[in-house]
Amino acid sequence: MNNLFSMQDLSTNDMNDLLRTAQAFANGESWTPREQTFAVNLFFEPSTRTKLSFEMAERKLGLEVIPFESGSSSILKGETMEDTLKTLEAIGVDVAVVRHKQDAYYKTLAETVNIKIINGGDGCGQHPTQSLLDLLTIKQEFGKFEGLKVTIVGDLSHSRVARSNTEALTALGAEVFHSGPPEWFEGDPKTADSYVELDQAIGFSDVLMLLRIQHERHENVMELPAEQYHKLYGLTAEREKRMKPESIIMHPGPVNRGVEIADSLVESQKSRIFKQIQNGVYTRMAVLKHILDQ
């Protein structure tokens, strides 16, 4: 594996291999490259938690992390991302984690640059390490994917996580449903069949995966005030009581407390929200190891 751009690049075998490596790191195993190895995190869109998680994963593997401030970069002087990556390669960087708002920014990169690239999120497209950490969290809980019912609640059309997860979970044998404001699904044929009412989903789901409402993307579409959204499409304390006994709650963070989920449920027994954050570090360590250890 030289790059990780999209979950679609991974076979179910690849996914299972990565999950095994990630679980080994979660169990306390360690690994370091034989030679001094340099990583850079190119985040052209702000992201505290994904960037911190990669930074932590890189440090735990003993990598040297070269700081990169996108705000003052040559990209702003008109340099293309391709030239920036070629520069980083010439400087001696081994692996770059890239987040960029352009969908599939990486399409042509693999052929033109030799530096290894991990996609840290592109536009409304992919976010493969987030998908993998979600898979790891589910696998830890249930030991398998076959036969699980997973419901993703929120704005599927703008969510990197939702797309990657739907594909991966389906490939691994889970049944995936979607819920949330119906107007967010109109015209998206991919999700039409899988749509369920939230109150119905609550009753049968093993995993309830809440998406973050991205207020910045819904200026026009979403006119609902936060309390109303919570009542209609959020996980309220009342809804949580109707969930199956062994079921779990997931959310990629950062959480809008009292909107997607009741404040009191964030740290509740069914919540795996902080577990997901922990698993993010182990998952990114696994991806880095698979890419660097060749």
Q: Enumerate binding residues for a copy of itself (CB under 8 A).
A: 36, 38, 40, 46-49, 52-53, 55-56, 59-60, 64, 66-69, 72-75, 77-80, 83-84, 86-93, 253-257, 274-275, 277-278, 280-281
Shortest distance, position 133 Cβ to a copy of itself, whole Å: 11
The token pair at 12 is 């179910």
Greatest extent of the chain over all pairs of C-alpha atoms, in Å? 57
Indicate the residue among 84 and 191 with the shorter CB distance to a copy of itself.
Answer: 84
For a copy of itself, which is the closer residue by CB, 89 or 141? 89
Nearer to a copy of itself, 11 or 74 (CB): 74
Q: Tell me how many helices (H) and strands (E) the chain has.
A: 11, 8
The response to whether 130 counts as a known ligand-binding position is yes
Q: Which two tokens stand for residue 270?
A: 């069914």
**99 labelled ligand-binding:** yes
What token pair was written down for 171? Answer: 């490939």
Question: Rounded distance, CA 254 to CA 239, Å?
Answer: 21
Q: What is the distance between the terminal CA atoms of the chain, rounded to a whole angstrom?
A: 8
Residue 186 Cβ vs a copy of itself, minimum distance, rounded to whole Å: 27
254 is in an annotated binding site: yes
- The smaller minimum CB distance to a copy of itself, of residues 205 and 279, is found at 279
127 has binding-site annotation: yes
Q: Which of 259, 193, 211 is nearest to 232 (CA)?
A: 259
Does 77 count as an annotated binding residue? yes
Smallest separation, CB 273 to a copy of itself (Å): 9
Minimal distance in Å, beta carbon 171 to a copy of itself? 28
- The token pair at 277 is 């954050």
Give CA–CA dist 169/172, Å, rounded.
Answer: 5
Tell me if 178 sits within 8 A of 167, measured CB to CB: no
Place of tokens 């399409």: 107
Tell me if 239 is assigned to a ligand binding site: no
**Residue list, annotated binding site for L-aspartate:** 77, 160, 212
**Residue list, annotated binding site for carbamoyl phosphate:** 49-50, 99, 127, 130, 253-254
